[in-house]
Structure 1
């Protein structure tokens, strides 16, 4: 192997190593052998593409892949460029292209958040987290493979929401182990003239939220809380048993329990402090 050929192979190896790790500037790219061909600049030049406004619709799949290839090419040149001015040019091109793909596919975030029913009451926080996930998905997506970006990114978003839901549930389920935790010895109900209410009276007021006339909880949520906490002289029922009764998984029953208790907490405790 000649010295020149060995140097080229070593350079390509270093570039591939860079492609697996983001730089200090946040640039992460996927290397493709076409970057070293004579037609690369013509195929992937960052400024050589038509610009459209996709704010009212999804960016077409072929267009997304084309911009993604140019983005990775810009990242390749960023690591390979020695001239500072040119390096800054490729860095700016990389982020401009990445942001363009992000804006064109941002509706995937809203679609994922709206689809994740257990966490709709946290839609704002979820949207912020999902925006970050979408940016990461854009950087990690390989446009040279036969994978649709929308499918890949949406899967990443749904998995992220699942992890967020699991984390939030684990943190807050301690507060939801018993309905008693909704009340304190000195708890004042709204409109009670700041007179402390006894624990017995607190539970009596709580039962009003399970009446047919109260629509704070839906019928399924009322049934689940009644079964799990043995309300109305019912024996305590396990998550698994309630799941069999409603033909739902144990984890889904846990999620509905959490959502129902959050609804009650917002009504009973205005400042949401337990």
Structure 2
């Protein structure tokens, strides 16, 4: 009996030394310290009766509290400090990189909370978000006109979403296939709006640049596109399609650049004849709508498609000259 009791005590001590899970450590930012191991109880039977799941949850909560306390002591950056650090980071200053990362760790925690109950513990979500933050800091360029918090939020969310798509137990397909199915669903919805009916495999294949056989395989896969609408999380207010990242989605800088171009184009259109501006807007979907064919534009404006082509070319030449003048002024 004494030998068995001693054996239990040894096992109890070994279990008490096992640290809780925590965000992956990185040299550039503080990793939350592991919770202090509970002292071995006098009676091994008491430890055996304690549910390991509750202990693990307690350890995780303690680790998060310690982590939040540590990063909460780091002061936030002013816009001027942010720009100065970004310039130093461009020159390879590792200390500036570390300072920028530490000052924005609270943003990661805030975003990570939005993805709780999707299949990964909060500690893991924070770890994945930190990876996204590091990428954002390394790529951030304040001259583009955006704040780091705005720019980094995109990278943090993408990193977390990718981890959820890879780790969620409900999805049993490779993540690249899940992404492809999500893309097929989006393309199918867009084509259905244009065609007024469900697109065929051939139409989907042509739009996506893959074979009809591949489309058929994706339809027959374990997860159909419609199943991406299945609710997930304890409150079932989100779906898998909400957390699967779109690899074809534009980056923050691409979004900013596109918006700048659209703004400039709207200014230039005001210099055209109202009819010319209206035709270009309708033809190329500059009002947010889809692009139209010459024939569709002709029907709307009650002229032939050839006449629309002529007006379009005249208007485009005018725009080209305006842009050339603007470029000359910049030089």
Q: TM-score w.r.t. structure 1 length?
A: 0.37
Instruction: Flag the structure with more relative contact order, 1 or 2, with Cα contacts below 8 A and sequence separation at least 6.
Output: 1
The TM-score with structure 2 as length reference comes to 0.31
